[in-house]
Amino acid sequence: MADINENKTKEAQEVDTKPKTESKDKEPKKTAKKTATKQAARKKTTKKTAEKKDESSEIKNLEEKVNKLSNTMLSIMDMFEQRVSEDPNVLSFKTRNVVAADQETRETLYKRNNVYAKKGELVRTSDVVRRDEDFLLKEAAASVPKRILSGTITGYQKMQQMGGIWMAELVTDDTEGQFVVYIPFYEFMPYDPKDFSMDDYIENELKARLNSNVEFVVTEVFEEDGFAVASRLAALSIRGQQLFTSKSEKYGPRIAPGMITNATIISVRTDRVYVTIDGADAMIKPREMSWTSLQDLVYEFKVGQVVPVKVLSLEKEKYTSRAPEDAVDRKDYPLWKCELSVRQALTDPRKLYYNQFKVGQVVSGEVKRYVGDKSVFVKIAGKMDCICFPPKSGRPVPGSEVKVKIDKMESKDKRIFGLIID
């Protein structure tokens, strides 16, 4: 019995001992886990502190750069204003009007949206786009020397709230057009003052220039209202000075009479085409637009089309721009009048293609223009003119495709005659 009791006592002691041993084993593990957690939290805190220090350092460096840039800009502005006092044709920085919105309005215009973006990326919400357009126009308005922007004419209107002045409306290139750019007609193109009172004349000029791309200089920005005012004449004057004026005896102007360059069509009428070479506008008559007969200028050419031109003449003139009812606030611009020709920039197609055709040959062609009742000019194979006689079945309309049988060729003048066949 004593042995049995002794064994029970030992078993009880063992049972009591086991939990204690297990709890002792778990305690170091819990302590290690807590220590690791504290260390991780400490590292995270240290990392955040370092990031904040780096960010603070970057902000401080950025502020120093901004201050240096501001001081530099002030120095440049002082130098520029000194130049302005010597040259009345230069638009002074002080005369440019930038009307910024107040802080409360800006907070409304540029709301902070809840967005997610990866590091280094920017989510371009509408308020971000508007802010960027505002910055672009303000920077252009305040730039020294003046920065030239470009944009597409999307509309026009007579603004009664601005004294009944006709305005061209533009969307600046590479923007979404949240800011509208207005160019008053008297700052848009040279005109004869007697024509300014003729609404039909102005409307027709602006209408013909819809969808054309033009350069301009920003003079006023109204942030809250979302629009800017600009001058195209100022841009033409700057470009003209750059391209048509000799900088030295050794290096002449970039563009001079006799040179061939590209021109962009900005307006097409039934009897004339207006083009621009950076720095000057020019009107070209139908005869100087092509070696071959043309059906209709509106049909043959489009706004925005680029054509080669030969510069026949260049003449500098002083042009005064002012609103018709304002005899005080006037601006004098040095502008250039030029005479251009597409025809003289190209080779006569008769010299290039005459020998490619033979009597009896049948070719396709496009009807261009009638001369009297019995003959019509047809551009054959898209290359040169052929003087044809209409078929007995009737007169094909200009622009229609026809078949032409070559009937006669004159080598002296390189002329081709043919018959339109059914």
Which phi and psi (to 5°) does residue 176 adopt? Answer: -95, 0
The confidence score (pLDDT) of residue 75 equals 58
**Is 326 a domain residue?**
yes
Q: Give one DSSP letter per residue of 54-66, joined into a string.
A: HHHHHHHHHHHHH
121 shares a domain with 199? yes
Residues 6+ apart with CB under 8 A from 171: 151, 152, 154, 177, 180, 181
96 shares a domain with 167? yes
340 shares a domain with 210? no
Q: What is the rounded CA–CA span in Å between residue 401 and residue 124?
A: 50
- Ranges in the chain, pLDDT < 50: 1-2, 4-5, 8, 12, 15, 17-24, 80-81, 83-94, 327
- Tell me the residue range of the domain where 96 lies: 92-236
Amino acid at 321: S
Q: In the numeric block, which tokens belong to residue 305? A: 């089309």
369 shares a domain with 323? no
- Residue 375: give its domain's CATH number: 2.40.50.140
C-alpha gyration radius of the chain = 38
Residues 330, 324 contacting (CB under 8 angstroms) = no
276 shares a domain with 217? no
98 shares a domain with 202? yes
What is the total count of domains within the chain? Answer: 3
**Is 47 a domain residue?**
no
223 shares a domain with 255? no
The confidence score (pLDDT) of residue 256 equals 86
Helix (H) or strand (E) holding 314: strand 306-321
**Is 117 a domain residue?**
yes
Parallel, antiparallel, or unpaired: how do β-strands 384-389 and 375-380 relate?
antiparallel
Task: Select from 293, 319, 345 the last residue of a domain.
Answer: 345
The confidence score (pLDDT) of residue 361 equals 95
**Is 220 a domain residue?**
yes
Whole-prediction pTM value? 0.68
**Is 52 a domain residue?**
no
**Is 30 a domain residue?**
no
- 315-363 tens-digit pLDDT: 998 888 876 555 456 788 999 999 999 999 999 999 999 999 999 999 9
**Is 116 a domain residue?**
yes
